Amino acid sequence: MSRTTRGLAAAAAGLLLLAGGTAGAAAGPTLTKPVQATKDDLNPGRTYSSPNFAVDPSDPQVIVGAFAELRTRRCGLIRTTDGGETWTRIDPSQSSPSPSSYPNCNSNPRGTFQAQPAFGRDGALYMALDGWDTQDGGVGGNPSIVVSKSINLGDTWTPVVARDNRGKTGEQQEADRPVTGIAVDRKSGSSDIIYVGASRRSPGFSGANALPNQPIVIVSTDGGKTFGEPVDLSAQAYADAGARANAFKSTTTVPNSTTTTAPAGTRAATQDQAANFGGFGPSMTVDDKGTVYAAWPVTYANLNPRPAGALLVSKSTDKGKTWTTTTVTAYDFKIGSFVTAVWSPKGGPQGTLHVVSDGTENPNIAGNTDIYYYRSTDGGKTWTERKNVTDDNPKDLYGQVYPNIAVAPDGRVDIAFFDTRNDPGTRSNDVYLTSSSDNGTTWSKNVRITDRSIDRKIGVFANNADVNAPPGLAATKAFTLVAWDDTRNGDAVGQAQDIYSANVQYAEIGGGSSSAAKVALAGVVGLLLVGLALLVVSMLSRRGGNGPAGTKPGQTTPAKKAKVG
């Protein structure tokens, strides 16, 4: 047998071993080349936010992403039906989730943008977002909450003004921005139950009577046709004097800039009251029994000195009417405003709540933030200690911010975040990913997803605008889809900012059950190559000839993919 024939035979045997699914057969994950999801928009001033993803429960290849085009302040949708290989951008000017009287969605002059998508039953797609027009005070004014429904993956929308704040003045003024979470209970009752979280601001209260941001939830029990009054999670959590006492016991405090004595009768003069405790908007998730969870970071008003931050999770078993709240972290931690929660049926009889946040153990060092993970396997009653999942050298004082978390059907947990470790000057950043295959007990090394650092001197992420959002993240059994806002096509004049995405693909050949999954498709291709290789081996053995130059039997991974890890 010639050297070429022996090589072909060995390759064929190797492919057969992979296809057979024997122990150790699964190859490591691979990373695809980034894809520009917004390449059809040629406007030089285009400015897209990172998207928020939702995976179609009936087909993991179908993923939608809600975005804001920050130049026009309109929200829209990108979607893929092939797991992120190709994208369709649905132009908000052609099909908008916003009603014509509330056309704008981006409402933060500085801070977070998030439009939130989620799938319901029977293919229904919902998107929760802010809604406003010029009469509402413009960016940073008096936005309302809109929830829109589509039954054709965003080609058309039926919007509902779920919380109407138009025309409110004085102490009635209410600015519900940004919308920070959506969760849909697809199993309870005859219609989808929709939970939407937002951060409520009350500009009619100021000075010594100011109100902090409040984490609110609005609920629909009729598939998004109508919504109830907002529930302030912080009001229920801090109605208990014991909860307030825990905050006041904090050994880590932050002095306020105000040193004058508060006027009698004001909230500042009576600090120990629930009205001085609030929180940023919650991230929402629902378990398989219809219990809804909301994770939110604490904030304050009128407290001098202020207690350190903490992370809380509120829980409701009666469709959002009443809530119980547990403390995830002690009041000894500077936690960021980006918190994401997701529930998984894995990990025990009650499943697992997975929560991620950014934060810092060193609040006196500017820009030194890390990514922290928390877990509960008893319905939120108790929590693990916070775990730093970043693996850079702590002495380097890099910044990791804006995390997102997702769980695959097989229980794999993924966390993506922005990271400055490749640019200590923090004028550029990258997207990194870490994963856990043991329900959050241990985590993989951080893997760089972006193929080049993102220049933040271009665009609005940090360039005198600071409009940002976590990387988009969607986890399926076969692959994890990651997306981010990227300025590689921009310059100092146009400031263009696009959406790019990449896949981390997991080799589960022989064990996968989804015929649509990319890895299963790779397995089919591999089997075809096995047959071809064996045929060539047989022919060459008979003829004693050599195979064609450049033949690469067994190459099941696309040529443009780079090995992860």
pLDDT by 10s per residue, the chain, length 565: 443 443 333 333 333 323 333 333 345 689 999 999 999 999 999 999 999 999 999 999 999 999 999 889 999 999 999 999 999 999 999 999 999 999 999 877 656 667 999 999 999 999 999 999 999 987 778 999 999 999 999 999 999 999 999 999 999 999 999 999 999 999 999 999 999 999 999 999 999 999 999 999 999 999 999 999 999 999 999 999 999 999 999 877 666 655 678 999 999 999 999 999 999 999 999 999 999 999 999 999 999 999 999 999 999 999 999 999 999 999 988 888 889 999 999 999 999 999 999 999 877 777 789 999 999 999 999 999 999 999 999 888 899 999 999 999 999 999 999 999 998 676 899 999 999 999 999 999 999 999 999 999 999 887 766 788 999 999 999 999 999 999 999 998 989 999 999 999 984 422 333 333 444 334 333 433 444 444 444 444 444 433 333 333 333 333 344 445 4
CA distance 190 to 193: 9
Separation of alpha carbons 340 and 494, rounded Å? 32
What CA–CA distance (Å, rounded) separates 148 from 133? 17
**191 backbone dihedrals φ, ψ, rounded to 5°:** -135, 160
* DSSP, residue by residue, 69-119: ETTTTEEEEEEESSTTSS-EEE-TTTS-SS-TTS-B----SSEE---EEEE
Looking at residue 261, its pLDDT comes to 87
Residue 482 confidence (pLDDT)? 98
Neighbours of 532 (CB within 10 A): 15
Instruction: Please tell me the pTM assigned to this model.
Output: 0.86
User: Phi and psi of 248, rounded to 5°?
Assistant: -65, -20
Q: Which residues of 172-189 are buried (b: 16+ CB within 10 A; e: fewer)?
A: ebbbbbbbbbbbbbbeee
Q: Pick from 61, 177, 56: which is nearest to 108 by CA?
A: 177
Where do we find the tokens 């600015």?
175
- Residue 438 CA to residue 100 CA, distance in Å, equals 47
32 touches 503 (CB < 8 A): yes
Contact 271, 303 (CB under 8 A): yes
Cα 27 from chain centre = 27
Q: Which element (helix H / strand E) includes 467?
A: strand 467-468
pLDDT of residue 544: 43
In this prediction, residue 256 carries a pLDDT of 62
CATH of 29-258+283-506, one of 3.30.360.10, 2.60.40.150, 3.30.1300.10, 2.120.10.10: 2.120.10.10
- Strand 111-112 relative to strand 467-468, pairing: parallel
Question: CA-based angle 280:283:288, to the nearest 5?
Answer: 150
Phi, psi torsion values for 8, nearest 5 degrees: -65, -40
Indicate the residue type of 313.
V
Look up residue 160 and give its amino acid: V
- The domain limits of the chain are 1-27+508-565, 29-258+283-506
Cα–Cα distance between 426 and 397 in angstroms, integer? 11
Task: Spell out the residues 6+ positions from residue 545 whose beta carbon is closer than 8 angstroms to its own.
Answer: 2, 539
CA distance 454 to 502: 15
How far apart are the C-alpha atoms of 486 and 459, rounded to whole Å? 8
Q: How far apart are CA 91 and CA 329, in angstroms?
A: 42
> Both ends of the chain: CA-CA distance in Å?
37
The dihedrals phi and psi of 171, each to the nearest 5 degrees, come to -70, -10
The C-alpha angle 423, 428, 430, rounded to 5 degrees, equals 85
What is the crossing angle of helices 3-20 and 518-543, to 10°? 150
User: Residue 409, SS3?
Assistant: coil
Written as one string, the DSSP assignment of 28-44 is: PPEEPPPEETTTT---T
Percentages of the chain per state (helix, strand, coil), in multiples of 5 = 15, 35, 50
